[in-house]
Amino acid sequence: MRKRRKYALIILDGAADDPLPELEGKTPLQVAHIPHLDRIAALGRVGLVRTIPEGMPAGSDIATLSILGFDPRRYHTGRAPLEAVEMGIPLNPEDVAFRCNLVTVQDQVLLDYSAGEIPTDQAQVLVRYLDEKLSTRRLQFYPGISYRHIMVWRQGSVDVLTQPPHDIMGQPVAPNLPQGDGESTLRQLISDSRELLEDHDINRRRREAGLPPANMIWLWGQGRAPRLPSFAASYGLAAVAIAAVALPRGVARAAGFTLVNVPGATGDQHTDYAGKGRAAQEALAQADLVLVHVEAPDEAAHHGDVAGKIRAIEQIDREVVARVLDTIGQVPAFRVLALPDHVTALHRGHSGEPVPFALAGQGIEPDAADRFDEQVAAESGERVEEGYTLMGRLVL
């Protein structure tokens, strides 16, 4: 390992939560056994950071920009274009990218925003089928991972209100359809997708197996191509990102990070936590800063899986945080920052409240905290209102 300063940034996507009745008024972070995150808290400082600026939607796109040091009010153009960057989809300045979920609809109600976390091989067949049937000179579909895909509307409209599907599960489809400039085009695509996908062979087999069909698309998160400054130029650091899902990978790629692919990293609760931890150890041998993002707590929360969310947090602690600390602790000049990107409450979805962070390493004077959770962070009195400035506390 090169003898220079090292930084680790660990994002536990959606790990922050509300106190839950089923946990006797505690949060999943408070219940989880997380000795390594607690170690960061004990070695350094704990506080709250507002990753979602007031008045902006509570999404990972905005939160990830904040955490990586970019003011979302200046640089955010939408969620989908960041994912398009990661997927290598070319966007001209006048083009609009939309996130295209494969969802499950029954009796005109949106039942599942992920179509049962449909496997990538099945999902890509369906999206390519839609592209074959629905694409035009101006409209194209691009297959991604599991239920997460992209639709590009060349010279399209961005001034349309769309709803994140994970926020409207169990609600009727009709009142949540796109509204505004271009709504007729988007609504027609959604309607046509239902007709095409309902009886597709893949969905017939999924029903026979007792699995939810991917029988419609949902378009949301639109925006035009982002323009981010170079992270290396801004901070003078060679940075690596380890993430499975397109959103954090897209932000990192747009900022000039080197991306590391981990076989078995899936972006859901069944991801290879240990593989991500080992990849972080290897990356720290060369890079100045390593970002590790794990989606699993967020996925568990959206599915209402309390035990799954606790289990995901514990696996991140055991397989990722422990390995990072073992490796980065060998360097005299190191710093490590751990935090969720946003709150994902099991009973109300994403929200923009401040999230807990723990920061430790060279030059960080420890406070009295010895635990990493929402309550300890709130009681610490340390609060970062402008989330994009937290990177400046991590980097010396």
Query: Which domains, ranges and CATH numbers included, belong to the chain?
Result: 6-76+227-394 (3.40.720.10), 86-223 (no CATH)
Question: 294: closest CA among 314, 235, 286?
Answer: 314
Q: Strand, coil or helix: what is 149?
A: strand
Which pLDDT does position 347 carry in this prediction?
Answer: 82
Which pLDDT does position 392 carry in this prediction?
Answer: 95
- One-letter amino acid of 177: L
Strands 216-223 and 349-351, by their bridges, are unpaired
Q: Give the angle subtended at the CA of 86 by the CAs of 4 and 72, to the nearest 5°.
A: 75
Q: Helical H runs in the chain?
A: 28-31, 35-43, 60-67, 72-75, 79-87, 120-134, 183-197, 201-208, 231-235, 246-254, 273-284, 296-302, 306-315, 322-328, 374-380, 390-394
Q: Per-residue pLDDT for the chain (396 aa), expressed as one digit of tens each?
A: 444 799 999 999 999 999 999 999 999 999 999 999 999 999 999 999 999 999 999 999 999 999 999 999 999 999 999 999 999 999 999 999 999 999 999 999 999 999 999 999 999 999 999 999 999 999 999 999 899 999 999 999 999 999 999 999 999 999 999 999 999 999 999 999 999 999 999 999 999 999 999 999 999 999 999 999 999 999 999 999 999 988 999 999 999 999 999 998 888 898 999 999 999 999 999 999 999 999 999 999 988 999 999 999 999 999 999 999 999 988 889 999 999 999 999 988 889 999 999 999 999 999 999 999 999 999 999 999 999 999 999 998
Starting from the edge strand earliest in sequence, which strands make up the sheet with 355-361, in order? 258-260, 239-242, 289-294, 6-12, 334-339, 355-361, 45-49, 383-384
Tokens at residue 225, please?
């191509």
Which pTM was predicted?
A: 0.87
Q: Are 351 and 44 in contact (CB under 8 A)?
A: no
